[in-house]
Amino acid sequence: EGHFVAEKPDDWKSAIDTTRPSIARAYDVVLHGKDNFEVDRAFVAEIVKVVPEIYDVATYNRQMLGRGVRFLVDQGITQFIDLGSGLPTVENTHQVAQRANPESRVVYVDNDPMVLAHGRALLAENERTAVVTSDLRDPAAILGDEAVKRLIDLDRPVGVMLVGILHHLHDDEDPRGIVEAYMAAVPSGSYLFITHFCDSSQDSRDAEKKFLALLGTGRFRTVAEITAFFDGFELVEPGVVPLPLWRPEEDVPENLTVGQRLMFGGIARKP
């Protein structure tokens, strides 16, 4: 579990467990995708009972991903490691980045076997993009992966993306140490991009209980805990904020809803 690597084209099918919800497939449900099973839809239906806006939350997160990637390209970043990238959906990192700069290179990392199969099909004709099916909790293995070595020059600044994924790591899995390991491997001028479930309301605490009970992961950390992931780096304006408030491209309401405060995010530069 977690270290599946498809050796033969059909291996991924046998690795899919349809008896339990998967993070990637449940996220696909809230993004209105088709790569999910009844068990994933049943899980999301339970979350809807405590956070009816959960579908909107996924949209805010994808919109933030787009704004963040465009911001990074504007800072001159042309290489991205997208950790916990998810199933391909609309406006994936390489599409956003390559539209802004066609030279952009992206390595997607995910441990869900369905991501590899779909990712390969999507990326078959894009030589600046690769999908690695590995566990991001092993930074040394990821950084030593053949695709990372081929596409990412670790002597030049890198955009390290942990978007919508760190909350799926338990405290005893040392998420901060994992972030530090990736950031230690990239040079000055690199960026760290995080979005994260936030302990921001009673509803968020109810959601955390359901995530942990039914999916097994989903830590809604405090703003201080999320901000601590950026220790040692220079947070760019406006810091760690609810996603709709991070460099919005449209007007945002003054009073944010529970869903608009359910995830916080930020971007920081390695000095």
- Residues in contact with ligand SAM by CB under 6 A are 2, 23-24, 27, 61-62, 65, 84-86, 109-112, 115, 135-137, 163-165, 168
Nearer to ligand SAM, 48 or 187 (CB): 48
Minimum distance between the CB of residue 5 and ligand SAM, rounded to whole angstroms? 12
CA 122-127-132 angle, to 5 degrees, is 65
224-232 LR contacts (CB < 8 Å, sep 24+): 226/194, 226/196, 226/198, 226/264, 226/266, 227/266, 228/176, 229/162, 229/166, 229/175, 229/176, 229/179, 229/192, 229/194, 229/196, 230/192, 230/194, 230/266, 230/268, 231/176, 232/180, 232/183, 232/270
Minimum distance between the CB of residue 72 and ligand SAM, rounded to whole angstroms? 14
Minimum distance between the CB of residue 90 and ligand SAM, rounded to whole angstroms? 11
Nearest C-alpha neighbor of 73 from the set 107, 92, 97, 105: 97
Nearer to ligand SAM, 131 or 268 (CB): 131
Minimum distance between the CB of residue 255 and ligand SAM, rounded to whole angstroms? 25
Nearer to ligand SAM, 161 or 236 (CB): 161
Nearer to ligand SAM, 178 or 183 (CB): 178
Q: Is the dihedral of CA 243, 90, 137, 189 positive or negative?
A: negative
Nearer to ligand SAM, 85 or 190 (CB): 85
Minimum distance between the CB of residue 270 and ligand SAM, rounded to whole angstroms? 20
Minimum distance between the CB of residue 104 and ligand SAM, rounded to whole angstroms? 17
Nearer to ligand SAM, 94 or 168 (CB): 168
Minimum distance between the CB of residue 53 and ligand SAM, rounded to whole angstroms? 16
- Cα 148 to Cα 15: distance, rounded to the nearest angstrom: 24
Nearer to ligand SAM, 96 or 254 (CB): 96
β-strand 191-197 against 159-163: which pairing, if any? parallel
Q: Please classify residue 246 by burial: count the beta carbons closer than 10 Å to its beta carbon, then call 0-12 exposed, 13-18 middle and 19+ buried.
A: buried
